[in-house]
Structure 1
Amino acid sequence: MNNIFENEQLNPAIRQGLKKINFVKPTEVQEKVIPVLLAHRNVVVQAVTGSGKTHAFLLPVMNEIDTNLQYPQAILTTPSRELAQQLYQVTRQLRDAAGLNISVAHLAGGTDRERQIEKINRRKPQLIIATPGRLHDFVEKKVLPLDYVKNFVIDEADMTLDMGFLSDIDFIAQRLMRDCVIAAFSATIPVKLANFLRKYMAKPETIIIDNPAVISPTVKNDLIDIGAKKREKVLYQVLTLGQPYLALIFANTKQTVDELAAFLTNQGLKVAKIHGGITERERKRTLREVEAGQYQYVVATDLAARGLDIKGVSLVVNYEIPRELEFVVHRIGRTGRNGMSGHAITLIREEEMDRILKLERMGIQFDFVEVKNGALVPRKHYHSRNSRQSAAHSLDNKMRGIVNKAKKKRKPGYKKKIKRAIQQDKAQKNKIEQRNKIRKAKRQRKRRREDQS
């Protein structure tokens, strides 16, 4: 296969620019996506963070911009200010390396709105990088015309859905030209997102990039069953076992982050916190202080897993498992980067074991450990315990009672009767389960027909 970075459809200046920034060998997502966008076809791409998807859409989008036309020609949306800022920096790097005279605007909340409008009126941007809310605002107020937009990219589409910005994207998509090329990039494609994309993309090209190494081999990935212990006390134990260069602790809500930060501070640790409820100015100041080494511990929501690039993280702790299991990958991916070793620890209780099973089916492997004598030591895998109990736990109370009675001395043939009773009970449950599956499939088919009509 020819190197897509040398494709003659790409502007020679862009090809030279890629060499200047040492982009020589394309990743799999770039090889597959760039030709589709160069052919002006809609595309839905499922690829994880770090797969190279940014340049997969950035190259063809910049390639299409007519520098003589002083109107917005491409829009790239991303759900957080931090991601928008990162995308803006990457775009400017490629533009400058290629020597292209493309006007790029960075539109996000938390920055001076009037100043942004003044800049746009002075020189209409040709490429816009924006958060959905600010973009909606400027289009609604007619600050930005959409008449010449040829490319519309929704980056981190699942995160856009989770953060409640899909209605803003809907507002923009309704106003685009019919021949505008739409591309959506996402780590996962939930049903609600798939239905939304179908509304604006008729038979898009679908590209799924498998990620064989879900967790970097440089990361030691441990699991601790905290039992009846208080979660925050186990966390403090874990954090003070050694001296992490920088520990990043993830919680699911802003409230939990605030409570944890206060608890750890009271224990004498110097702790920073990051979540969506903190002002933009305070967040930037905190990040500067973290980078300067003023904090050894950072407590954060998933904003830091996908929206921020915090360097030097040697330890990641999942204080609780995220609602969206895929976020575990993003969280753990904050450590063990660039070939450096890293350590991740996830705290769970017995009732969360089924979620660990799901994560293992996704390819995330854990080492089971416990805190003993001031150190993390291996412990027996919970599967070995579960396998001994699985037969009994799969029975209802009535059948379990019959099995327990069978342990007493009985007349010959009694055990066979028990065995038959269990088999019959199992067969009946299987019938009910199959019936429920058939009914569920029928309901799903009916809903799909209704959606298509």
Structure 2
Amino acid sequence: MTNSNFSRFDLQAFLIEAITAQGFSLPTEIQERLIPAIRSGKDVIGQSQTGSGKTLAFLLPIVDMINTDKAEVQTIITAPTRELATQIFNELKKLLDHQEEQTIQAKLLVGGTDRTRMIDKLEKAQPHIVVGTPGRINDLVSAQALGVQNTSMLVVDEADQMLDMGFIEDVDKLASRMAVELQMLIFSATIPEKLQPFLRKYMNNPRHVHVKPEHATAPTIEHRLISLRHRNKIEVTIEVAKIVNPYLAIIFTNTKEQADEVADAMQTAGLNVGRLHGGLQARERKQIMKQVNDVKIQYLVATDLAARGMDIKGITHIINYNIPKDLDFYIHRVGRTARAGKEGLAVTIYEPQEQEAIEKLMKRGINFIFADIKNGELIKLEKPKFGGNKPKSKSTVSSGKALAKPKKVKPGYKKKARYLQEKKEKRDRRLNRKK
């Protein structure tokens, strides 16, 4: 236990025991740089990709700093989705389970659960740590079931996604109800310009740590591209899904309508499929996540809701039904596979208008292998030349090979055509004169 490199952070013994039990001995870069800053009371911005260990970077110092003599809410951790909040809460429980006496209390507050029962429990006892979605937490504060006026620490996880989903106003409302001396911890893959006014409003000279990965994606992921050409996209997707025959695959679509369409077609084709998107009821999403974790489905059709922060175990394949508009999400999507050094395969079905996006991803260091389907197998093809930076009206790319070029015309053909035309006109004039 004392051999752990986490010992130098001077954390409580049960925390060292908890992370050792999970097999962690060396802190990641973001943990190394942020744990001391958080413990010293500084505001922090942690910018990193999924898999950097950021969750423990804030959970360890938060748990370590809880004062059990005070029976009040001391820290609130917010996440943009119920699934992500639940995941953070489960990580928190792994730490708290190692307490000799269960003195530090935590509660998960998300929508889709019995509100009245939740209020009853909060009236009996206030937790030290709250993990939840901003909407539900605000609702319980408004109902005077949750007291946050003395709460001095707020974590905003996946802040850029909070902004995209329109939840940053809820976070702002919550922060304004908390203690005046508020320590704020922001974690995000990107820090968009639109987030800056919120950061300036609440943060005081924050410690900004940006951990850039060595590779855009895990080096153990193989990225394959399949040109759609004139085929039916759903049929190609189903064929790819059958060929790869995964332990668990996520098929990513850009919209929930596409997700439903693809999932319905896969179901009709007899595949064991589930779907996950923002249009589902909380109960349905919970059931799907349980089926995924219990390995009861082989294919999960999802929107980018599942691309960020979600730690779904055992994903062997990613299939991109289309390339996301925000290219960062390609990185997040494929980051669901090849975790902890394992191998993964990401297959992307692309159309001519997505050529520019592919070239941008290549510049980021994604090494694509061009492929196609032949005799029920995925075969590798030679890398095509896109032929220019902008997509043409007709595809300059086929399934991995450049399309046949138009027949070359001989030089000077325009001059010759003009000469023949003039010759014909002279002949016509001569005939007219004779007449």
Q: TM-score, normalised by structure 2?
A: 0.84
Match for residue 159 of structure 2 among 132, 154, 157: 157
| 2:116 equivalent to 1:111 | no
Counterpart in the other structure of 2:428: none
Which deviations, in whole Å up to 9, do the C-alpha atoms of 1:80-103 show, x marking residues without a partner? Answer: 111111111111211222436111
For 1:131 and 1:389, how far apart are their aligned partners in 2? Answer: 41
Letter in 2 for 1:41: K
> What pairs up with 1:12-91 in 2 under 5 angstroms?
12-91=13-92
**Residues 33 and 407 of structure 1: CA distance in aligned 2, closer, same or farther (over 3 Å):** farther
State the match for 1:248 in structure 2: 250
Which range is displaced more, 124-133 or 304-313?
304-313
1:97 maps to a residue whose letter is H
Where does 1:431-442 land on structure 2 (aligned, <5 Å)?
A: none
Do 2:356 and 2:391's aligned partners in 1 also have CA atoms closer than 8 Å?
A: no
Deviating more after overlay: 288-297 vs 102-111: 288-297
Q: Which amino acid aligns with 2:37?
A: V
Query: What value does the CA root-mean-square deviation take over the aligned residues?
Result: 2.7
| Structure 1 position 73, deviation (Å) | 0.7
The amino acid across from 2:219 in the alignment is P
CA contact (8 A) 2:160 2:191 kept: yes
Partner of 1:138: 140
The structural deviation recorded for 1:193 is 1.7
Unaligned runs of 5+ in 1: 391-403, 412-453
The C-alpha deviation readout for 1:255-298, integer Å capped at 9, x for no partner, is 11111112222233332211122222222323333444443322
How far 1:173 moved relative to its partner? 1.5
1:174 corresponds to: 176
Is the contact made by 2:4 and 2:16 (CA closer than 8 Å) also made in structure 1? Answer: no
**8 Å contact from structure 1 (residues 18, 98) kept in 2:** no
CA distance in 2, matches of 1:307, 1:64: 25
Shift, 1:327, TM fit: 1.4
Deviation string 1:297-324 (CA, Å, 9 cap, x unpaired) is 2211112222543333222100011222
Conserved? CA contact 1:9–1:38, under 8 Å: no
Question: Aligned residue for 1:229?
Answer: 231
Using the TM superposition, name which of 379-388 and 340-349 deviates more. Answer: 379-388
Inter-CA distance 184–388: structure 2 relative to 1 (3 Å threshold)? closer
Cα distance between partner residues in 2 of 1:66 and 1:293? 40
Rg (Cα) greater in structure? 2
- Asked if structure 2 preserves the Cα contact closer than 8 Å seen for 1:321 and 1:348, the reply is yes
Give the C-alpha shift of residue 9 in structure 1.
4.6
CA shift in 2, pair 1:222/1:302, >3 Å = same
* Pair 120,227 (structure 1): closer, same or farther in 2 beyond 3 Å: same
* 1-structure distance, mates of 2:184, 2:351: 43
Query: Which of these residues, 190, 196, 199, is aligned with residue 197 of structure 1?
Result: 199
1:95 matches 2:99: no
SS in 2 for 1:97: coil
The letter of the residue matching 2:46 is V
Give the counterpart of 1:283 among 277, 282, 285. Answer: 285
Unaligned runs of 5+ in 2: 393-407, 416-435
Contact 1:3 1:26 in 2 (8 A): no
Q: Distance in 2 between matches of 1:191 and 1:38?
A: 28
Q: CA deviation at 1:15?
A: 3.6
Moved more, 355-364 or 132-141: 355-364
Contact 1:247–1:316 (Cα < 8 Å) also in 2 = yes
Instruction: Give the Cα separation in 2 of the matches to 1:405 and 1:53.
Output: 61
Render the CA deviation track for 1:396-442: whole Å, top value 9, x for unaligned: xxxxxxxx99953999xxxxxxxxxxxxxxxxxxxxxxxxxxxxxxx
Most deviating of 260-269 and 99-108? 260-269
Instruction: Name 2:298's counterpart in structure 1.
Output: 296
Q: 1:150 to 1:64 in 2, by over 3 A?
A: farther
* Contact 1:74–1:127 under 8 Å retained in 2: yes
Encode CA deviations 1:318-351: one digit per residue, 9 max, x unaligned.
0011222111122112222333322110111111
Matched to 1:174, the amino acid is: S
Superimposed CA distance per residue, residues 10-58 of structure 1 (whole angstroms, 9 cap, x where no aligned partner): 3344344443444321000000011111111111111111111011111
Paired residue secondary structure (2:49): coil
Matches within 5 A, 1:372-451: 372-383=374-385, 385-386=387-388, 408=412
Match of 1:440 in 2: none
- Give the conservation status (yes or no) of the 8 Å contact 2:353–2:391: no
- Asked if 2 retains the 8 angstrom alpha-carbon contact of 1:106 and 1:129, the reply is yes
| Alignment CA distance shift 1:129-1:387 (3 Å) | closer
Question: For residues 124-182 of structure 1, what are the alpha-carbon distances to aligned partners after superposition, in whole Å with 9 as ceiling and x for unaligned?
Answer: 11111111110111122222222321211101111111221111001012222232110
Opposite residue 412 of structure 2, the aligned amino acid is K
Q: Deviations over 1:237-266 (max 9, x none)?
A: 212224222222111111111111122222
Question: Using a 3 Å threshold, how does the CA distance of structure 1 residues 290 and 124 change in structure 2: closer, same or farther?
Answer: closer
Give 1 or 2: higher helix fraction: 1
Report the more deviating stretch, 81-90 or 258-267: 258-267
> 1:239 corresponds to which residue?
241
Cα pair distance change 1:315/1:183, threshold 3 Å: same
Q: Which residue of 2 aligns with 1:319?
A: 321
Give the SS at the match of 2:136. Answer: helix
Residue in structure 2 matched with residue 188 of structure 1 by the alignment = 190
Mapped partners of 1:410, 1:250: distance in 2:
50
Aligned mates of 1:304, 1:150 — CA distance in 2: 31
1:104 deviates by: 0.6
Per the alignment, in what secondary structure is the counterpart of residue 45 of structure 1?
strand
Secondary structure class of the residue paired with 1:338: helix
Task: Kindly indicate whether the alpha-carbon contact (under 8 Å) linking 1:16 and 1:98 is maintained by their aligned counterparts in 2.
Answer: no
Contact 1:276 1:303 in 2 (8 A): yes
Q: Distance in 1 between matches of 2:233 and 2:29?
A: 41
The count of corresponding residues between Structure 1 and Structure 2 is 397
Name the residue aligned to 1:443.
none
Q: Hey, what's the Cα distance between the residues in 2 that align with 1:39 and 1:287?
A: 37
